[in-house]
Amino acid sequence: MRSALKRFFSTLSPAAWMIAGLALASSAGMALIRVPPERGIQFWTFSEEHMAYYRKAVAEWNHLHPGKTVQVTLVSGNSLQQRMMSAFFSGTPLADVLEVERTMIGPAFSGPVDKVGFDDLTPRLRTAGLIGGINPPSFGPWTSRGHIFGIPHDVHPVLLAYRSDLVEAAGIDVSKIETWDDYFRALAPLMTDATGARRYLVNGWYTDPYTCEILLLESGGALFDRSERPTLNTPFNARFIAKLATWYVGPHRVAHSMDYFTASGHQFLVQGQLLAVMVPDWYVGMKLKSEIPTLAGKMKLMPLPAWEPGGRRTSAWGGSMLGIARSSKLQEADWDFAQFLYLSRENAENLFRNDGIVSPIRANWSDPVYEKPDPYFCGQRVGRIFISQATHVPWRTSSPYNDEALTAFDGCLIRVAEYAEGAGQYDPAALVPKAEQMLDAAQQEIVNEIGRNVFLSK
């Protein structure tokens, strides 16, 4: 071995020895360099859309607080969640303040409540008078086992955006519509256009979990109770699935799938094949108006039709929060910055003007920005319409198993819809037993999954 190594080294050229020497010297030098810790508050966000405002707000904060400077960093959603969970479980470096979206937060709540990686903000929110000052349902996704771990960024009520040019030309008065049954009955004459082509009255499909959750929450159903116990197989949920399946199959089908995020999906609205789409505030501000400009002056908003007379007429989709890492050494400054960034009237105005997002801070709802007529929606005061439904937004679970439960629930809807189509049975009452059977199996699946988690199975 020794002679082989000697032969190898003897073959090296002077240039090779120089490269090797430089590499060794560089490695030794790097080992001796002491990387100074980052100073000030580190703030991570996944939201590219909000970065322009955040940079402006951070610059203002840094000017006013030279001893508590903030550095904002844009991190992609998947990377932010992975780095966040790695830090929570293994102590790797993490920002002091994090903005996270609802789909990212679940795993953070999968362990003991006193080990959640975010600081429990409940006492701070209560002391600051914000428990009542923020729209109560907006706390739902960030509340686990009675503890609030984030300041809500938004409300995200869902309304119905409809082709008012086509509806009003047919003499239909949507103000007389209260329930989905009213809606389908009133718009039934529009299901065939002048050429005889088929139209559909609302977006949605049985393989789409997003619209399924929007409608379930609006109806009053739920996948978990307030104690975060799974409730998939309630009689209410079975009736809901049986009814919803008939929207998608059979001779009286009223719904059609629309991809919210593609030009091809938007064409269903543009061409009038689809007369209405369920939209949260962010979709109106960030997608509908900017990506389908040809519909300006041809659309209006209305509350979702209720499932029952007197029922809720909105739902929710999406949401973000601002949380403080439990590991942060600057929590008092973090809290001051979080309030500065999220609770100001300027932030509320910016959110609505740029992105159409309604503030969850109730004191901001009187701002004149929400009164401005919007030409895209035929002069409607869009902000005021969304705010009118803000307090009715349903409470949403923070369970780390919500995604699994929603997938299982939507799977039940798929099987019931396919059964209805195969059997030619489109009476909702007749489909309830099948829905109950599917939901019982789904409930047990989620119960078993949660049962494997020793922290949440008690």
> What is residue 453's predicted lDDT score, i.e. its pLDDT?
86
What is the pLDDT at residue 34?
39
Instruction: Looking at the structure, tell me whether residues 273 and 322 fall in a common domain.
Output: no
How many folded domains does the chain comprise? 2
Domain membership of residue 97 (yes or no) is: yes
Kindly report the CATH number assigned to the domain that includes residue 124: 3.40.190.10
232 occurs within a structural domain? yes
* 224 shares its domain with 142: no
Residue 185 and residue 310 share a domain: yes
* pLDDT band, residue 32 (cuts 50/70/90): very low
Q: Work out the mean pLDDT of the chain and round it to a whole number.
A: 91
Cross-sheet strand order for the sheet of 276-280 = 276-280, 158-163, 299-303
Model confidence pLDDT, tens digit, residues 17-28:
444 443 444 344
Question: What pTM was estimated for this model as a whole?
Answer: 0.90
Tens of pLDDT along 199-226?
Answer: 999 999 999 999 999 999 999 999 999 9
Residues 340 and 201 in one domain: no
- φ and ψ of 353, to 5 deg: -60, -45
**174, 209: one domain:** yes
Same domain, 338 and 308: no
pLDDT, tens digit (0-9, with 9 covering 90-100), for 371-394: 999 999 999 999 999 999 999 999
What is the three-state SS of the chain? CHHHHHHHHHCCCHHHHHHHHHHHHHHHHHHHCCCCCCCCEEEEECCCCCHHHHHHHHHHHHHHCCCCCEEEEECCHHHHHHHHHHHHHHCCCCCCEEEEEHHHHHHHHCCCHHHCCECCCHHHHHHCCHHHHECHHHHHHHEECCEECCEECCCCEEEEEEEHHHHHHCCCCHHHCCEHHHHHHHHHHHCECCCCCECECEECCCCCHHHHHHHHHHHCCCCECCCCCECCCCHHHHHHHHHHHHHHCCCCCCEECCCCCCHHHHHHHHCCCECEEEEEHHHHHHHHHHHCHHHCCCEEEEECCECCCCCCCCCECCCEEEEEECCCCCHHHHHHHHHHHHCCHHHHHHHHHHHCCCCCEHHHHHCHHHHCCEHHHCCECHHHHHHHHHCCCCCCCCCCCHHHHHHHHHHHHHHHHHHHHHHCCCCHHHHHHHHHHHHHHHHHHHHHHHHCCCCCCC
Amino acid 36: pLDDT:
39
Confirm whether 322 is domain-assigned: yes
> 59-107, pLDDT tens digit by residue?
999 999 998 999 999 999 999 999 999 999 999 999 999 999 999 999 9
Residue 389, in any domain of the structure: no
Each residue of 258-299: pLDDT tens digit?
999 999 999 999 999 999 999 999 999 999 999 999 999 999
pLDDT for residue 234 is more than 80: yes
- CA dihedral 101→104→110→114, nearest 10 degrees, is -50
Does one domain contain both 296 and 349? no
Q: How confident is the model at residue 457 (pLDDT cuts 50, 70, 90)?
A: low
Tokens coding 157: 């009520």
Whether 436 is covered by a domain: the verdict is: yes
Contact 445, 408 (CB under 8 A): yes
Pairing label, strands 70-74, 143-144 = unpaired
281 and 419 share one domain: yes
- Is 187 found in the same domain as 101? no
Same domain, yes or no: 213 and 272: yes
**133 burial level (CB within 10 Å; 0-12, 13-18, 19+):** middle
Give residue 278's pLDDT: 98
3 part of a folded domain: no
Question: What is the domain range of residue 247?
Answer: 158-316+395-451
Residue 349 in any domain: the answer is: yes
pLDDT at position 454 over 90? no
Residues 70 and 203 in one domain: no
Same domain? 308 vs 345 = no
Residue 22 domain-assigned? Answer: no
β-bridge partners, 380: 374
| pLDDT value at 29 more than 50 | no
* Beta bridge partners of residue 256, listed in sequence order: 203
Taking the chain, what is the end-to-end CA distance rounded to the nearest angstrom? 62
Q: What is the pLDDT of residues 295-316, one digit of tens each?
A: 999 999 999 999 999 999 999 9
Band (pLDDT 50/70/90 cuts) for residue 3 is very low
